[in-house]
Amino acid sequence: MPPIHALDKTIAEAVKTHPYAPLLATMPRIGKANLAQTIGELGPILERAETCEQFIAETGPFLTKASSKSRTVAFRYATNHRARLAVTTFADNSRHGSDWAAKIYTDARARKKRHPHAIRILARA
């Protein structure tokens, strides 16, 4: 067996036994490779995040700052780039298998957002 196939098989077996696999495997169009990437990059963040907002801040699709007088939504540059890639890759894949995700994406595109921005909007949703 070529080394890459042996590695794929090892990753697939490891993913099956991971505690987050049953939770994340139900996500639309996640696939084996994306599931492994998602578990590897987001698993440690899920373990230490106490709130959804903390998780979103660490993965960084958007950052929302609010005070009593104003509310700002901005792109976050200082973040875990591999975790952001895992989240946005899943979001991009999910829009093909989920009507809900497809609607959010097409609504963002209808508001004249470019593809990368629309994917980050979907990831945040």
Q: What is the pLDDT of residues 11-57, one digit of tens each?
A: 888 888 888 888 777 777 777 777 888 888 888 887 888 887 777 77
45 within 8 A of 55, measured Cβ to Cβ = yes
CA dist 66 and 83 (Å) reads 24
**Nearest to 45, CA basis, from 89, 82, 73:** 82
Residue 106 tokens read as 């097409």
DSSP per-residue string spanning 41-92 = HHHHHHHH--SHHHHHHHH-S-EEEE-SS-EEEE---SS-HHHHHHHHHHHH
Percent of the chain past pLDDT 70, that is, above it, reads: 84
pTM (2 d.p.): 0.63
Q: In 16-41, which positions are buried (b, 16+ CB within 10 angstroms) versus exposed (e)?
A: eebeebeebbebeebeeebbbbbbbb
Overall size of the chain counted in residues: 125
Q: In this predicted structure, which of 1-5, 86-90, 103-107 has the lowest mean pLDDT?
A: 1-5
CA dist 74 and 57 (Å) reads 11
* Whether the predicted pLDDT of 104 surpasses 70: yes
| Counted domains in the chain | 1
Residue numbers of the domain that contains 102: 3-124
The CA R_g of the chain, rounded to the nearest whole Å, is 16
